[in-house]
Structure 1
């Protein structure tokens, strides 16, 4: 596979010459080296759920005690400033250039991971929004990220395989127990989806408690998927952790 930077769209480079964060000169992506270095990169983390940890390559206590239905989480950043602000502006204010920048950097992160041995998935599946929530927001940020990843990494995309069939309050602000209750019957698999034996990757913006990832991965595994990974922009630390 060619280097990701070598495959970036000429139009994207032509129309975004400067850093979107400090407005200084950009580089291969519309972010300067200084701003890129100051992002909250996720270094030590759980080998399964990507929870920020002091060590690298080991599973956290929760994953050892109760292994999740997903196999691995890939995220370039810890959810902290300024990534948290960039995601919020993309998700809730429709700042698509910021979302595209984050999506391209996630694609670059995954490209490196694939070269380091992470297996390529058979398809990308965005986390679905309920129809009412989609009408209210006007777009599904997970779907946009999945489309960008599919295009940049040349991976198949299945946008309609996962369905949100019950709507509830937004997950943001709910504790872990409330998140589980909110999502217990929220998702379904499209009847035309053929997932048996496949390695699938669910795409979302942020992994917080992992509840959404848990229910979607469990749904896919019960339908016969061989492996389910999670690709997201950022992973939140435990409350109280830096």
Structure 2
């Protein structure tokens, strides 16, 4: 009955989302069909770490040589324009509507992946920020993404299962070796948390070298988790790749 009444309402009473990119009328989300089609959708990529590749359905050389502790990375986009700009504005300028839009599109991508056979996790775990960085920024973008995904996908979110106990320099601008040194003892799993036998999914905004995902997945696997996946908005290509 309510849906019938909604269809009968005059057009001027119906809410049509405005595209967050071009301000044209959107569809059911705050993005129009044209802008959505122009996003840098990730096509060929490593089936494990989602590194952009010219081929489909194969692992990259690094994952063949040194299999990571996580099973699979799911990311809808290559880190490029305009997704890189949208993530930056969400993460560093507090533009939460942009983050919400990206989170809803990621939820659609994951729902499709679940229908295609990707196992649903038992819980979502946002990558934590240290207390000083959280105070400086005012919010944890990974936590916000995880909560939006949890609502859309009906999955529990465990905010406190992973803790950042050491605050090193920002990961941005560091190479893989420096990132590993930076995160050597950065995270902990509280003793009260029991992850044995669980399939867990880490949530973050961007996967660059994968160092943070490696460290956290190894921590969870050593604590007894049976599988760890990574859900993020975008995957960066190798340096120098177009």
Q: Give the TM-score, by structure 1 length.
A: 0.93
SS of residue paired to 2:212: helix
Structure 2 residue aligned with 1:181 = 181
CA contact under 8 A between 2:16 and 2:27: conserved in structure 1? no
Map Cα deviations across residues 174-222 of structure 1 (whole Å, 9 max, x no partner): 1111000000100000222110010000000000000000000000000
Map Cα deviations across residues 20-62 of structure 1 (whole Å, 9 max, x no partner): 0000010011100000000000010000000000111110000
Structure 2 residue aligned with 1:64 = 64
SS of residue paired to 2:201: strand
Structure 2 residue aligned with 1:219 = 219
Cα 1:39–1:194 change in 2 (3 A) is same
Map Cα deviations across residues 123-176 of structure 1 (whole Å, 9 max, x no partner): 000000000000000000000000000011000111100000000110001111
Q: Does 1:237 align with 2:237?
A: yes
CA contact under 8 A between 2:162 and 2:190: conserved in structure 1? yes
CA distance in 2 between partners of 1:220 and 1:23 (Å): 42
CA distance in 1 between partners of 2:192 and 2:85 (Å): 38
CA distance in 2 between partners of 1:207 and 1:16 (Å): 33
CA distance in 2 between partners of 1:119 and 1:227 (Å): 10
CA contact under 8 A between 2:46 and 2:53: conserved in structure 1? yes
Structure 2 residue aligned with 1:26 = 26
Map Cα deviations across residues 210-238 of structure 1 (whole Å, 9 max, x no partner): 00000000000000000000000000000
Q: Does 1:85 align with 2:53?
A: no
* Matched positions, count: 229
CA distance in 2 between partners of 1:89 and 1:212 (Å): 22
Summarize the alignment of residues 203-214 of structure 1 with structure 2, pairs less than 5 Å apart: 203-214=203-214
Note the C-alpha offset of 1:16: 6.6
CA distance in 2 between partners of 1:202 and 1:56 (Å): 24
Structure 1 residue aligned with 2:172 = 172
CA distance in 2 between partners of 1:207 and 1:234 (Å): 6
Structure 1 residue aligned with 2:102 = 102
Structure 1 residue aligned with 2:6 = none
CA distance in 2 between partners of 1:16 and 1:136 (Å): 35
* Structure 1 gaps, min length 5: 1-13
Q: Give the TM-score, by structure 2 length.
A: 0.93
CA distance in 1 between partners of 2:32 and 2:158 (Å): 33
The runs of 4+ residues in structure 1 deviating greater than 3 Å are none
What is the Cα-based RMSD across aligned positions, in Å? 0.9
Q: Does 1:76 align with 2:80?
A: no
Larger Rg: 2
Note the C-alpha offset of 1:15: 6.7
CA distance in 1 between partners of 2:209 and 2:94 (Å): 25
Structure 2 residue aligned with 1:196 = 196
* Structure 2 gaps, min length 5: 1-13
